[in-house]
Amino acid sequence: MAKESRKLVANNKKAYHDYFIEETYEAGISLAGTEVKSLRMGKCSLKESYIEEKHGELFIRGMHISPYEKGNIFNKDPLRVRKLLLHDYEIRKLMGKVSTKGYTIVPLQVYFKGSLVKVEIALARGKKLYDKRADIAKKDLKRETEREFKISHI
């Protein structure tokens, strides 16, 4: 079987900063034709997006897909609510964990897998301020040691 190509469209770096990522899932997303064309051009943002459950289904809110330039009347609202496509057992498992205190579901990235648009979502636990500071300190220390190593090996 041929290896599926995976072309990244949008990444949510803020999610990695604000949350501990516990589990990740791959979900399909319900889109209109002009939205897919706009995604192919890389016009997508996940910055303020989040995922909510309604009537046993998951929806992504706040995901901005810019209108397709040649789409005229067929363009949809850039911030409209879009349905995520997951199996029922995955949704039940996620909702069981979210009902636990401190867990939420966040979108991590949007990408093309072959010709299909996929969203990587994660079950995440919120970080406290001191956790964020510890991560930043760890990253700075790693950067410093790499810099020192590079200078000493020139």
Closest CA to 64 of 38, 84, 85: 38
Mean pLDDT computed over 44-68 = 84
Alpha-carbon gap, residue 63 to 117, rounded angstroms: 14
Largest Cα separation within the chain, whole Å, is 61
Average pLDDT of the segment spanning 41-47:
82
Task: Label each residue of 58-69 as H, E or C.
Answer: EEEECCEECCCC
Residue 3 is predicted with a pLDDT of: 59
% of the chain with per-residue pLDDT over 90: 0
Instruction: Using DSSP, state whether 22 is helix, strand or coil.
Output: strand
Asked whether the predicted pLDDT for residue 137 surpasses 80, the reply is yes
Q: What is the helix (H) or strand (E) element at residue 132, kind and residue range?
A: helix 129-152
Please name the CATH architecture into which domain 6-127 falls. Answer: Beta Barrel (2.40)
pLDDT top residue among 37 and 119: 119
- Hey, what amino acid is at 87? H
pTM equals 0.73
Instruction: Determine which of 66-70, 101-105, 107-111 has the lowest per-residue pLDDT on average.
Output: 66-70
* pLDDT (0 to 100) of residue 1: 47
